[in-house]
Amino acid sequence: MKQGMASVQPLRVRAAVAADAAWLAECAIAMAQETEGKALDPPTVRAGIEAGLSDPAKARYFVAMHDDLAGSDTIGAPAGTLMLTHEWSDWRNGDWWWIQSVYVLPRFRRRGVFAALYRHVEALARTTPGAIGLRLYMERDNAAARATYTALGMRDAGYEIYEALL
């Protein structure tokens, strides 16, 4: 870990559950505002997250938890989250796992929360038949995110994303 980046201890990652929906929606709304200056519609976001939580074919959510007291057996509190979706690759006859909706609470940034989430889903992907790799997209000018992803072994895939909203 780089100097100045104290890790959060202890830190554990778990699958999100229906009871996390409101918190996950708050994170998604905060992330969109912080990274893109977009104000999302809270009921729409909440409904989307609930749909993803109820159907793993749509999405899987993970939550990084920290305990307030070392050695405590309390549930702790959430520090960050990410969502996974899948994209079929006919070129490779397998699924890309897309990391999306990444959000780490401001007080936990640069403390290993995303790295814990990433390593968790990376380990899951390595043991899941048909998973061929991890991908994510980010805002072009997000230098901190770029440095984090590079430090975890990811590389620029050389693609740009275009969209047409319907």
What pLDDT score was predicted for residue 44? 98
> Which DSSP state fits 8?
P
Residues of the chain with confidence (pLDDT) below 70: 1-9, 68-75
This prediction has a pTM of: 0.88
Residue with tokens 């749909």: 51
CATH code at 97? 3.40.630.30
The total of structural domains in the chain comes to 1
Overall size of the chain counted in residues: 166
What pLDDT score was predicted for residue 66? 86
Q: pLDDT tens digit string along 3-43?
A: 445 565 678 999 999 999 999 999 999 999 998 899 999 99
What pLDDT score was predicted for residue 2? 44
Q: Is residue 158 part of a domain?
A: no
Q: Is residue 159 part of a domain?
A: no
Instruction: Write out the residue range of the structural domain in which residue 107 sits.
Output: 11-151
